[in-house]
Structure 1
């Protein structure tokens, strides 16, 4: 009897998960997104993490749970696959087609990789959550990567919180360990396969590929006794402190990838260096993220909605 009840519970549990799909197909659909439970949950997740990393260094002490270790293993696997899939010779300089080979491997293995992170009783969620992992690494047709893909990875982590795999005690590790490792893997992808920036605004965008590490990275600096926003354009400061601060690590990567004066190739960031305080930078970046990423149809048309991140309106 108890066994039958358990099976019924499991069946009910399995039925609650759905494969996420696109729901935003036209510009007027954006209203649905802004009113949705998904938007509320996603933004709440970003802001909660923003608060948790405030004033803390990447190198500070924090708990690393078994779930976090498993996520690091998953990202380590993706990293290893890049090394096993070298770029191919081709006439065009950008968008190396070997990325498609790498991506098809992820497509085949994503559910297995996610299942390894989930406890057995949560395995029914794997097909739903795996979709966000596949969406988080770039587009295999265009061989590009942008803030929409980054948002899919944040959505992937948010879903893991919603099913109880990650908890409040994991918040620092989510940003400092997992997201940071994800950034390393994405940079390796971008460099190895020379991926195009998706929907880049060129010099007028914040960064060709990422946005979230600038938000969380600026929060790390709030109330810092000596480092002010004007310091991040000083290469000496960047080299000295990039291992402690996500923001500076992003600046270091930009400096490695781009040539010429910083004010010319990264004008938006250059402007931010004139803001008087890190808390103002942080608030401004959150506002900019909403406006330039989450409220832009070209980005959100690709976002997928399931049972965990639902298109249904927020419950009053």
Structure 2
């Protein structure tokens, strides 16, 4: 699926069967250790696959509500069960009393459970013939929930979850007709678990630019969420700063879910605490917002060394240069 943008001649299923026929999996590791290594990342197969995956999903959700009808496969159901397990662990791991307000140490207890169980959880999702991929793909799941040392979370962790989903597509566990469910069910559920983590353990925003960043924690739901609005008959970008619109439509649109969460977490005028989003509300059309956010995502997340130095590369998301 990730390569549909890159190689129009081959279908994602071809990619999946090719990628996994006699595949040798490996534990992903860091490859970007210095700023000059960033060129290697941008020329890599991983970058092409990752970006292709993001854009494919962006296209698939265009003009569709979260509440629309779509297929929910067995693999999607299993992923939702996995995320519910993570959610349940939060309930079982309450914050501890500590002097500092932020970064509650109970997060480390919660994380160590995931660290131990990730492969087992993933084995329940993968088809039996792809079981060997569990140790490679589980690394992205563990990377997607935040950093246990710093007790922070940011767009690099979010990218690890997108990479996790991309790998599931590459091994053929998720199929082309799962695209809507990947965003509207799985990613949406992931967001709700991450918000609960952020609130429960008062996680620091990783690499946040504060008022000058798009959002303290997420980026992808703004891209896919703006695509949902393209060609909407009545709701324009200027409407998302209206609290009534947010309250009425947040269950249908991912973008408004994000705005609702920001409004709950931050106080004061919107223009002051979320200046970038305030500026976006002045853009005339949703398709322009969507294109602008994709550009911004590349520049602010994927081309920033502090984010990409943590990204890990294996056999499914390879640091090798794109094949010409």
Give me the TM-score of the superposition, normalised by structure 1: 0.96
Partner of residue 127, structure 1: 135
SS of 1:117 mapped into structure 2:
coil
How does 1:1-316 map onto structure 2 within 5 Å? Answer: 16-316=24-324
Q: Please give the per-residue CA displacement for 1:198-236, whole angstroms capped at 9, x wherever unaligned.
A: 000000000000000000000000000000000000000
Per-residue deviation, 1:13 = 6.4
For the aligned residue pairs, the C-alpha RMSD in angstroms reads 0.9
Q: Please give the per-residue CA displacement for 1:23-69, whole angstroms capped at 9, x wherever unaligned.
A: 00000000000000000000000000000000000000000000000
Q: May I ask how many residue pairs the two structures share in their alignment?
A: 305
Per-residue deviation, 1:15 = 6.1
Q: Please give the per-residue CA displacement for 1:74-130, whole angstroms capped at 9, x wherever unaligned.
A: 000000000000000000000000000000000000000011000111000000000
Alignment gaps of 5+ in structure 1: 1-11
1:88 and 1:98 in contact (8 A); partners too: yes
Q: Please give the per-residue CA displacement for 1:171-208, whole angstroms capped at 9, x wherever unaligned.
A: 00000000000000000000000000000000000000
Give me the TM-score of the superposition, normalised by structure 2: 0.93
Alignment gaps of 5+ in structure 2: 1-19
Inter-partner Cα distance in structure 2 for 1:37 and 1:120:
27
Inter-partner Cα distance in structure 2 for 1:152 and 1:113:
17
Tell me: CA distance 1:262–1:112, structure 2 relative to 1, closer, same or farther (3 Å).
same
